[in-house]
């Protein structure tokens, strides 16, 4: 979008027109200031040191909460890396438990990727050395420990990575850290009565993901931040375990998306609502030249379980309070040059089928409605009317898994899966779900399921010891990821690459999702991405591909693979 076109369109919004249920009274009074993570650059030897440790943070009601962080009590610094530079990232583990650190979004060799095999025992350290070789982007880092990634992220571990290059610097985008270039890290937390993080990998979390009722931005609730007047760059990161967000400006002000997971778009794309799944990043410009305060809100989403109060109403992410200073950044007409998509003819096609243990699925939704009532089933009726509730036949499953024997699905009764054509919550704890008459859901088995074998890719739970397949380096492939027959949202993440979305849930990707990505939405339909791996990953350090709802990852919805050789 060209600047003159945006300026014409921007006159259409009314600063006095607010979203329903929202008023400026919600932002009145003393709000905490937005914490800005320290910007950490490599030293003269190219080294950055991180210390994973314990601390205390005040998250609600002045209660001290035990938290984990990098170089502090909660979250971590932002790492600033320059393209073509050689860096070594050293992680010292001062936690009571083993951990790992995955550099999410970085295109680096498997030995440096920080997957579950790169375990760091308490009291030890690990180094990842590599050359930064990808365009400017906002990435992040977080734990990736086998079966407990969700727990460690929930406790507070995570931080941003900023990759810079000469091309992006020449665009004159807002670039003063914490002034007009602002990190916005969104997470939800659940605290117990004593103010401690209440994390449990129970059947509801295994089915839906872990979610809370407290929204934090950079580790605090409902912060405000003083900004200059002009173009403000927001680096948005959804660092939640499972929750999606739907971001809007309180006065309907346009948001200009300039970048996605893996870098800048070809040109700014105007949106009024910006959905963000767990793990995703977007860079957005907002115009504060009028000097009027602006609230960034998240609206209710249709994701299963994520409309429980208070998220059934708009929630404040961040208030921006313009000062009299002038911002220096500009809105460019063009941003990055993206390569044209190649012809698909002759490309290798790999197929991935995402599925859940139907018993865990039923038990999880029963637990949800028992605890929160029928209103917690937001998205169920929509999913069914879109056909998401119909489980495919055994023949359909076999044809979509490229040689995997679906009859060997551990923990699955194939006949039970075929009978799940439609999911009816009627009769579950006495709740009658409006609009869902005629849909039947099997009641859960009495035996307690193995939650670490609850979610599947191609009928298999994640195997730490055996990579599932091998990819050739520097060769384009089409990956088809299917969630057909599963009503749940799966933000699917692939390590070691930035890909292009060819189709998302059976439709062309939205304009702002056509740049470099490392997460694609898979929700009851088929999504396709074009992938290429430029680095190798051996059997000791394979790459991962998984759902980024961390509890789905921890309970089996992950696979590993090797990259070797070339064309």
Q: Quick one: which of 322, 320, 316 has its CA closest to 220?
A: 316
Question: Mean pLDDT throughout 480-503?
Answer: 96
In this predicted structure, what is the pLDDT of residue 487? 83
Q: Which residue has the higher pLDDT, 39 or 377?
A: 39
Report the distance separating Cα 402 and Cα 116, nearest Å.
26
166 inside domain:
no
552 inside domain:
yes
Report the distance separating Cα 168 and Cα 186, nearest Å.
25
Q: Which residues pair with 197 in a beta bridge?
A: 191
35 inside domain:
no
Express each pLDDT in 501-559 by its tens digit.
999 999 999 999 999 999 999 999 999 999 999 999 999 999 999 999 999 999 999 99
pLDDT at 406 over 90: no
pLDDT at 95 over 70: yes
What's the Cα-to-Cα distance from 107 to each of 15, 104, 139, rounded to whole Å?
A: 42, 9, 11
Q: Band of the pLDDT at 441, cuts 50, 70, 90?
A: very low
Residues 6+ apart with CB under 8 A from 405: 398, 459
Domain count, the chain: 1
Cβ(542)–Cβ(560) below 8 Å: yes
Domain that holds residue 553: 348-365+451-566
Q: Band of the pLDDT at 317, cuts 50, 70, 90?
A: very high
The mean of the pLDDT values for the chain is 87
Q: Which residue has the higher pLDDT, 31 or 383?
A: 31
Express each pLDDT in 235-244 by its tens digit.
999 999 999 9
Compute the half-sphere exposure of residue 522: CA atoms within 13 Å on the CB side of its CA.
31
Report the distance separating Cα 165 and Cα 39, nearest Å.
16
Express each pLDDT in 99-110 by its tens digit.
999 999 999 999
- Mapping DSSP to helix (H, G, I), strand (E, B) and coil, where does residue 164 land? strand
404 inside domain:
no
Report the distance separating Cα 567 and Cα 145, nearest Å.
33
In this predicted structure, what is the pLDDT of residue 421? 33
Q: Characterize the bridge pairing of strands 78-82 and 159-164.
A: parallel
Report the distance separating Cα 271 and Cα 426, nearest Å.
38
Q: Which residue has the higher pLDDT, 567 or 67?
A: 67
Helices first, then strands: H and E counts in the chain: 10, 30
Report the distance separating Cα 491 and Cα 279, nearest Å.
8
Q: Quick one: which of 184, 159, 196 has its CA closest to 59?
A: 196
pLDDT at 351 over 90: yes
159 inside domain:
no
534 inside domain:
yes
Of 175-184, 254-263, 268-277, 368-377, which gets the smallest average pLDDT? 368-377
What does 196-210 look like in DSSP terms, one character per residue? -B-----HHHHHH--
Question: Mean pLDDT throughout 343-370?
Answer: 96
Predicted model pTM: 0.88
Cβ(76)–Cβ(141) below 8 Å: yes
Q: Quick one: which of 423, 489, 451, 456 has its CA closest to 360?
A: 451
Report the distance separating Cα 264 and Cα 281, nearest Å.
11
390 inside domain:
no
In this predicted structure, what is the pLDDT of residue 2? 53
Q: Domain containing 527 — which CATH number?
A: 2.60.40.420
pLDDT at 199 over 80: yes
81 inside domain:
no
């Amino acid at each position: 979008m060209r600047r003159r076109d945006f300026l014409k369109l921007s006159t259409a919004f009314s600063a006095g027109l607010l979203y329903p249920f929202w008023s400026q009274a919600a932002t009145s009074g003393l709000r905490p200031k937005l914490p800005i993570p320290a910007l950490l650059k490599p030293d003269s030897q190219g080294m950055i040191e991180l210390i994973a440790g314990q601390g205390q943070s005040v998250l609600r009601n002045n209660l001290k909460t035990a938290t984990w962080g990098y170089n502090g009590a909660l979250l971590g610094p932002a790492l600033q890396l320059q393209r073509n530079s050689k860096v070594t990232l050293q992680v010292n583990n001062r936690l009571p438990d083993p951990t790992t650190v995955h550099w999410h979004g970085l295109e680096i060799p498997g030995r440096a990727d920080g997957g579950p095999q790169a375990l760091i025992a308490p009291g030890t350290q690990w180094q990842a050395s590599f050359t930064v070789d990808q365009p400017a982007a906002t990435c992040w880092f977080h734990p990736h420990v086998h079966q407990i990634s969700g727990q460690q992220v929930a406790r507070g571990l995570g931080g941003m990575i900023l990759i810079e290059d000469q091309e992006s610097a020449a665009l004159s985008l807002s670039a003063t850290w914490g002034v007009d270039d602002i990190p916005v890290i969104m997470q939800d937390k659940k605290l117990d009565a004593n103010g401690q993080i209440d994390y449990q990998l129970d059947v509801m979390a295994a089915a839906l993901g872990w979610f809370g009722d407290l929204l934090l931005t950079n580790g605090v609730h409902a912060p405000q931040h003083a900004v200059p007047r002009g173009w403000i760059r927001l680096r948005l990161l959804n660092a939640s375990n499972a929750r999606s967000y739907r971001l809007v400006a309180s006065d309907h002000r346009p948001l200009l998306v300039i970048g996605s997971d893996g870098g800048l778009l070809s040109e700014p794309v105007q949106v009024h609502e910006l959905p963000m799944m767990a793990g995703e990043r977007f860079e957005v410009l907002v115009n504060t030249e009028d000097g009027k305060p602006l609230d960034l809100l998240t609206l209710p989403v249709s994701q299963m379980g994520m409309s429980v109060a208070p998220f059934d109403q708009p929630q404040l992410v961040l208030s921006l309070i313009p000062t009299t200073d002038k911002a220096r950044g500009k809105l460019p007409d063009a941003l990055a040059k993206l390569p044209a998509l190649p012809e698909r003819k002759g490309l290798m096609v790999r197929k991935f089928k995402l599925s859940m243990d139907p018993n865990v699925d039923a038990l999880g939704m029963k637990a949800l409605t028992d605890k929160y009532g029928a209103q917690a089933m937001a998205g169920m009726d929509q999913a069914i009317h879109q056909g998401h509730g119909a489980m495919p036949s055994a023949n359909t499953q076999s044809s979509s898994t490229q040689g995997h024997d679906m009859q060997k699905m551990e923990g699955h009764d194939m006949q039970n899966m075929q009978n799940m054509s439609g999911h009816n919550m009627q009769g579950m704890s006495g709740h009658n779900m409006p609009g869902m008459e005629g849909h039947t859901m099997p009641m859960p088995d009495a035996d307690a399921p193995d939650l670490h074998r609850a979610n599947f890719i191609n009928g298999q739970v994640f195997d730490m010891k055996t990579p599932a397949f091998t990819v050739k380096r520097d060769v384009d492939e089409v990956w088809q990821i299917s969630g057909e027959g599963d009503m749940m949202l799966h933000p699917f993440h692939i390590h070691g690459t930035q890909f292009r979305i060819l189709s998302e849930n059976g439709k062309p990707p939205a304009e702002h999702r056509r740049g470099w990505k490392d997460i694609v939405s898979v929700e009851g339909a088929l999504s396709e991405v074009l992938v290429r791996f430029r680095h190798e990953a051996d059997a000791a350090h394979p790459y991962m591909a998984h759902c980024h709802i961390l509890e789905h990852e921890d309970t089996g919805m992950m696979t590993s693979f090797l990259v070797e050789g070339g064309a």
